[in-house]
């Protein structure tokens, strides 16, 4: 079985964990965090797209993304 290719780069994810206070971060932790972030961002993107379509637009605006992230 092959590995999933992530859209989110892993190095910045590791830096986010370090900035949050981790002294060291395992590759498994980075992989898990990346997977969770990807799932969350895909859900927000889908909701933002639905909001823009409901508003009769093809373009997703900042407000659509912010509203989608709240729910």
Q: What is the pLDDT of residue 2?
A: 52
Place of tokens 């407000």: 63
Mean pLDDT by 10 residues, the chain (71 residues): 75 97 97 96 98 98 98 80
Q: What is the pTM of this model?
A: 0.82
Domains of the chain listed by start with CATH number: 38-71 (1.10.20.10)
8 Å CB contact between 28 and 35 = no
Cα(22)–Cα(11) distance, integer angstroms: 14
Can you give the pLDDT at residue 60? 98
What pLDDT, on a 0 to 100 scale, did the predictor assign at position 6? 81
């Amino acid at each position: 079985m092959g590995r999933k290719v992530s859209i989110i780069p892993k190095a910045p994810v590791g830096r986010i964990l370090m900035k949050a206070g981790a002294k060291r971060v395992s590759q498994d932790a980075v992989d898990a965090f990346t997977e969770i972030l990807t799932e969350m961002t895909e859900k927000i993107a889908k909701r933002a797209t639905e909001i823009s379509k409901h508003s009769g637009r093809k373009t997703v605006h900042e407000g659509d993304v912010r509203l989608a992230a709240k729910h």
